[in-house]
């Protein structure tokens, strides 16, 4: 399956790289620079569209994020991703594709770029191998 980038600006890759460079050392903050917001911000940088607009400004803590997810019928970030995005096969993930990783029983969101999977960490962007992602998603 080929991933369509129809409707994306022609320079979306350079926009993504610029976003990642700008966020390289931006530390974690619930509701601003957590995994959902980092990934949504990357998508905004690439396309101008915000798949997480309904979640912005609605939480500022881990417990607030959990409450917000529950209010939206989601048990965890995996449920939220499946509600917001279209799941695709991991093998079809390309640069700009959103992914989920599971660590210590918790789901976290990130974005694929080249051979890496970028995630928000406590002190900036974490760079993981593509193999760290368990699921892949596209924005409809």
The answer to whether residue 128 is domain-embedded is yes
Per-residue pLDDT for 122 more than 70? yes
Domain residues for the domain of 105 are 12-138
Q: Per residue in 60-70, pLDDT tens?
A: 999 999 999 99
- Domain holding 56: CATH number? 3.90.1720.10
The answer to whether residue 78 is domain-embedded is yes
The answer to whether residue 116 is domain-embedded is yes
Q: Per residue in 1-30, pLDDT tens?
A: 446 688 899 999 999 999 999 999 999 999
Give the chain's domain count.
1
d(CA 26, CA 124): 5
The answer to whether residue 4 is domain-embedded is no
The answer to whether residue 3 is domain-embedded is no
Among 59, 8, 4, residue whose Cα is nearest residue 31 = 59
d(CA 67, CA 49): 25
Q: Per residue in 62-118, pLDDT tens?
A: 999 999 999 999 999 999 999 999 999 999 999 999 999 999 999 999 999 999 999
């Amino acid at each position: 399956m080929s991933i369509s980038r129809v409707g994306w600006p022609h320079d979306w890759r350079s926009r993504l790289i610029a976003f990642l460079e700008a966020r390289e050392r931006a530390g974690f903050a619930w509701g601003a620079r957590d995994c959902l917001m980092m990934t949504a911000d990357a998508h905004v940088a690439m396309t101008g569209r915000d798949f997480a607009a309904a979640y912005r400004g609605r939480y500022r803590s881990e417990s607030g994020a959990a409450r917000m997810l529950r209010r939206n019928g989601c048990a965890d970030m995996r449920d939220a991703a499946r509600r917001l995005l279209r799941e695709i096969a991991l093998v079809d993930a390309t640069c700009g594709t959103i992914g989920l990783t599971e660590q210590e029983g918790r789901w976290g969101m990130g974005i694929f770029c080249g051979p890496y999977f970028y995630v928000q960490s406590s002190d900036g962007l974490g760079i993981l191998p593509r193999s760290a992602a368990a699921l892949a998603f596209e924005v409809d």
